[in-house]
Structure 1
Amino acid sequence: MHRTGLTELEVILAVAHRQSFRAAARELGMSATAVSNAVAGLESRLKVRLFNRSTRSVALTPAGQRYVERIAPALAEIQRASEEIMAEPDSPSGTLRINAPQESVSLLFEPLIQPYLLRYPQMRLDITSESRMVDIVAEGYDAGIRLAESVPQDMIAVPLTGDLKMLIVATPEYFARHGKPQTPDDLLTHRSIGMRMSHGGLYHWELERHQQKLTVNVPPRIVLNEMRAIHRAALSGVGLAFISDGFVREDLAAGRLESVMEAWCPAFGGLRLYYPGRRHVPPGLRAFIDLAHELRALANKPSSG
């Protein structure tokens, strides 16, 4: 029976996640040659190819996918056990791996992610931003971040934000030229900033008022697939944007953007951190959860003035 070192398993997971030998080498602090040799050595002992390689890409083979799905949870558990033994209760160390949509990382960086890094200098955050839903256990993540409605039912969820709301916004100059829409039908005479979904389709605006739900396809002037880019396009005056209020609160307060038809824009469950219901939560994740609770309580505390 062959015995495989943990380093080789870490290499396999890093290459699988990054889809690149060089990127995996940078993540692990190894040379690209050492990473390539580790993969080749394990493939030789297992007598199976784990990755298909070309000059442009690296992708798991079907056998490699099955192998990664089996070893990722086990390796993550071993790493967590080591971190728990080594960590002091008030000063966790190690790596916290989170899978999250890119937009949520932007919204949470200043209010949560940056304070976490400042408070726990021995912790390292490894955040993978992607729109697709992943099995965080199978792919070796400690936690995920998604909207409340998307959190798997078998996971423990921790609120990171209050309810969010999609708003219809544009610059005052745009509204001065084109007028302000008052009804869903009015939207069809305007130009919009469209959003391309991860599956390739164009997002249709979902409106609701008095239990009446409508889906509106506002003609796009430009189509983008990332919320920050949509935000910038809205500020440039390209057209109407349908965007989360978390991105535009400061712009609305400063008068750079204006919102319309808010009665048609209902609130929905905000962002949630979620993780498996294990008996022992890794110290780094526990610290992240505790800080999220602390900062939300401070934000919701009534001002004394």
Structure 2
Amino acid sequence: MIRLEDVTLFVRSAALGSFSNAAREAGLLPGQVSAAVQRLERDLDKRLFARSTRSLRLTAEGEKYLPYALEMLAIVQAGAESLHNTDHEFSGELKIAVPSDTGRNLLLPLLNAFCRQHPKLALRLSVSDQVSDVFRDPVDVAIRYGVLNDSSYVALPLADNNRRVLAASPDYLARHGRPETLDALADHHCILFTINGHAWDRWPFYPEEGSRELKVYGRLISDDADVARRWAVDGMGIVYKSWIDLYPDIAAGRLEVLLPQIPGQAAPLNFICPHRRQFSPAIRELYRQLHQALSDIAGRR
């Protein structure tokens, strides 16, 4: 019979990369964690970790089993919550990873409101443009842009009609003029940011005559997309970012949309969990509120 505590220690060892770290987190000895994982391996008749004196990594079988272990723990937690939570009084901790710009400027106020509604709920928020692995990192939900290619995840749309737009501040446009065509961007300062460590300097567009990809140049580049937005607001150049990211500045008049007649690259925003059954009542309600707010903003373009 598989023990729930063994599954828990297996999951935390995989997430933290060592038995010692998992033991420290659980208040146990490393030998106790190692013994629990060995017991689970005997129950499954499969080796879950490849061990060495310097590293601990999942085997192919361990990689395959991990999402099911996470699902098992989530179902047990959801069942406990259903017995103790009434009138939507959510408790426990939610671990959420969000993109830097969207996280700071749009999601944070929405998450704050959600926490005020549910004072017994704790939130651990990771704000970064680095992609989180919802199987290996200790997160319950990751909010990501783009089309999801990994079928092992479950993605629910938050704003599936969201696109990138060109924008610049009124001050920049007064000093440098407004580009009237895509080719005119070559005469302007373009603000760049990195995606997965590489400068995103090829901007795709979809005019009526067919798709185009422009090679752009700029003297300002950051690994934080929020910095790129701030540079644009400060009049440093033209930025090409998600409409949702730029909407607060556009609505306030700090930025103006350029060439609005030319569709930009699709940038759907997704709500990611390892498995649909991991959607606890709190996560389902959070998704409902975020979807309502963000799809409304995306529809204002």
- TM-score w.r.t. length of structure 2: 0.72
Counting matched residue pairs gives 289
The 1:265/1:72 distance shift into structure 2, 3 A limit, reads same
What corresponds to 2:104 in structure 1?
Answer: 106
Q: Shift of the alpha carbon at 1:118?
A: 0.9
Contact 2:99–2:129 under 8 Å retained in 1? yes
Map 1:117-266 to 2 at 5 A. 117-127=115-125, 131-132=130-131, 134=133, 143-147=141-145, 149-150=147-148, 159-161=157-159, 163-198=161-196, 200=198, 202-210=200-208, 212-266=210-264
2:78 is the alignment partner of 1:71: no
Contact 2:157–2:271 under 8 Å retained in 1? yes
What corresponds to 1:92 in structure 2?
Answer: 90
The 1:211/1:41 distance shift into structure 2, 3 A limit, reads farther
What corresponds to 1:42 in structure 2?
Answer: 36
The 1:13/1:154 distance shift into structure 2, 3 A limit, reads closer
Contact 2:66–2:135 under 8 Å retained in 1? no
Secondary structure in 1 matching 2:86: coil
1:250 and 1:260 map into 2 onto residues whose CA distance is 16
What corresponds to 1:60 in structure 2?
Answer: 57
1:281 and 1:255 map into 2 onto residues whose CA distance is 38
Secondary structure in 1 matching 2:216: coil
Q: Shift of the alpha carbon at 1:297?
A: 9.9
Q: Shift of the alpha carbon at 1:88?
A: 1.7
- Residues 1-59 of structure 1: CA distance to partner in whole angstroms, max 9, x if unpaired? 8x6452x5434433533558898689x5x55xx374554443565587556676xxx76
Contact 1:221–1:238 under 8 Å retained in 2? no
Instruction: Give percent identity, aligned residues only.
Output: 23
In the alignment, residue 36 of structure 2 is paired with which amino acid?
L
1:297 and 1:69 map into 2 onto residues whose CA distance is 29
- Residues 132-187 of structure 1: CA distance to partner in whole angstroms, max 9, x if unpaired? 485x5798865553447438789876554484332222333433443322111111
Segment of structure 1 superposing worse, 195-204 or 209-218: 195-204
In the alignment, residue 166 of structure 2 is paired with which amino acid?
I
1:298 and 1:251 map into 2 onto residues whose CA distance is 16
What corresponds to 1:82 in structure 2?
Answer: 80
| Runs (5+) with no aligned partner, structure 1 | 301-305
1:69 and 1:152 map into 2 onto residues whose CA distance is 13
Secondary structure in 2 matching 1:195: strand
| Runs (5+) with no aligned partner, structure 2 | 42-46
Q: Shift of the alpha carbon at 1:100?
A: 4.6
Secondary structure in 2 matching 1:263: coil
Secondary structure in 2 matching 1:95: strand
Segment of structure 1 superposing worse, 17-26 or 211-220: 17-26
Contact 1:192–1:219 under 8 Å retained in 2? yes
In the alignment, residue 256 of structure 2 is paired with which amino acid?
E
What corresponds to 1:303 in structure 2?
Answer: none
2:51 and 2:159 map into 1 onto residues whose CA distance is 39
Q: Shift of the alpha carbon at 1:188?
A: 1.6
Q: Shift of the alpha carbon at 1:219?
A: 0.8
Contact 1:192–1:220 under 8 Å retained in 2? yes
2:177 and 2:21 map into 1 onto residues whose CA distance is 49
